[in-house]
Amino acid sequence: MNETKVTRFRERIGEIYVGAALTLMIDIGFRTGLWEAAAKGPATSEQLAERAGLEERYVREWLGAVTTGGIADYDSDTEMYSLPEEHAVSLTGDGASNRAVNAGLLTYLGKHVDPVVTVFREGGGVPYSRYRPEFTSLMDQRFRREYNEMLFDGYIRAVPGLEERLMAGIRVCDVGCGTGHNLNLMAAEYPASTFTGFDIAADAIELANAEAAEMGLSNVAFEVQDATALPGDLTFDLMTTFDAIHDQANPQGALNEIGRSLAADGVYLMIDIDASSDLKNNIGNPLAPYLYSVSTMHCMTVSLAEGGAGLGTVWGRELALEMLSEAGLTQVEILESSNPTNAIYVCRKG
């Protein structure tokens, strides 16, 4: 046995656990507004607690974690804590650069370790209903920040000619639309087009319709609908999915329905995970451990719970292209996304 490797790996395990512990602190900082309060300038623990409207003793202990963790700075002479502006960029604000919001997904998934351990032993999966409604809210909170900034410049305008068609007026459908925020943004931007959102989750559809009403939109509608059984009398010029295919119980069935419902000259925009279907090609990808872990804790298991394919988050480009081809979508261009975890598949019929 190589004792040096033993020591190095023991240190690596320690680093992993420290990172996990700090993830909890990042989430607490996000939920309590501590990051925003800290970004306003140096403060003692008492001043920061008052600034955030929190209990000082808890704030002081939290500061101990994030300071020794290299997130915040501490001046022992003045007992003042500060959040470097270079760090604040990734922990504050309403934009996509705020990564503190991502911590909430991991702390939430931690609540599901027990049922996931059970299905490791007994088979099957943990049904999507066990994750709702919190999961719906977390996904909405995470992704609306990105798409508020990048939906048009990073996705729609990445496809030549697509925005011009939307401005002229086409029929658009988002499958697995969740809370419908992306579709509402498009409906507001392109009033000449009509938009339909389908999702299996009634609570998400209720939120989507409420937002559309709040925005005063009359060219968008949302319905509860299984992705594998889209209305047979409808065709669309643009169809979209945003991270919605890989955790379907029947992903091939959903793609087949999209292929069937797409107009002959239509475009299907599939935003999904950018990885390889072959594990060896993902070794060295710094995001791969995160993706496989989230898959184990949610994406794969909710599919298996329905007796589904259990593709998992890291289904990969190779398998995606095979499945798109089977759905009749044989002309596929893959573009890089503003989000490093995703790729943009621009799909057309052959």
Question: What mean pLDDT do residues 158-185 have?
Answer: 97
Respond yes or no on whether the N-terminal peptide bond of residue 133 is cis (omega within 30° of 0). Answer: yes
Residue 97 located in a structural domain:
no
Look up the CATH number of the domain holding residue 83. 1.10.10.10
132 has pLDDT over 90:
no
| pLDDT for 340 | 86
pLDDT at 303 over 90: yes
For 148, phi then psi, to 5°, come to -60, -35
- Average pLDDT on 217-238 reads 96
**CA–CA distance, 155 with 147 (Å, rounded to integer):** 9
Indicate the SS3 state at residue 214: helix
Predicted pLDDT at 230: 95
CATH of the domain at 216: 3.40.50.150
> For residue 141, what pLDDT is reported?
85
Closest CA to 41 of 87, 96, 85, 82: 82
Helix H or strand E encompassing 85 = helix 85-88
CA proximity to 312, closest of 296, 327, 325, 323: 296
Asked if pLDDT for residue 47 goes beyond 90, the answer is yes
Q: Please report which confidence band the pLDDT of residue 140 belongs to, taking 50, 70 and 90 as the band edges.
A: confident
* Placement of tokens 């909890």 in the chain: 24
Element (H, E) at 265: strand 262-273
The verdict on 302 and 188 lying in the same domain is yes
Residue 325 has pLDDT above 90, yes or no: yes
- Give me the mean pLDDT over the 338-342 stretch: 88
Q: Is residue 100 part of a domain?
A: no
pLDDT of residue 142 exceeding 90, the answer is: no
Final residue belonging to a domain, choices 29, 57, 92: 92
Could you write out the DSSP letters of every residue in 1-15? --HHHHHHHHHHHHH
Last-in-domain residue among 92, 126, 149: 92
Same domain for 342 and 206, yes or no, is yes
Indicate the helix (H) or strand (E) that contains 47: helix 45-52
Q: Which domain holds residue 249?
A: 107-348
Of the listed ranges 143-147, 182-186, 313-317, 320-324, the least confidently predicted one is: 143-147
The domain tally of the chain equals: 2
User: Residue 105: which of 134, 126, 82, 127 has the closest Cα?
Assistant: 134
Percentage of residues of the chain with pLDDT beyond 90: 93
For residues 96-106, one letter each, b for 16 or more C-beta atoms within 10 angstroms of the residue's C-beta and e for the rest, the string is: bebebbbbbbb
Dist. CA 102–CA 289, nearest whole Å: 15
DSSP string, 87-98: HHTTTSSSSTT-
| pLDDT, averaged across the chain | 96
Q: Does the structure show a pLDDT above 90 at 156?
A: yes
| Burial call 112-147: b when 16+ CB within 10 Å, e when fewer | beebbeeeeeeeebbebeebeeebbbbbbebbbbbb
Q: Is 13 a member of any domain?
A: yes
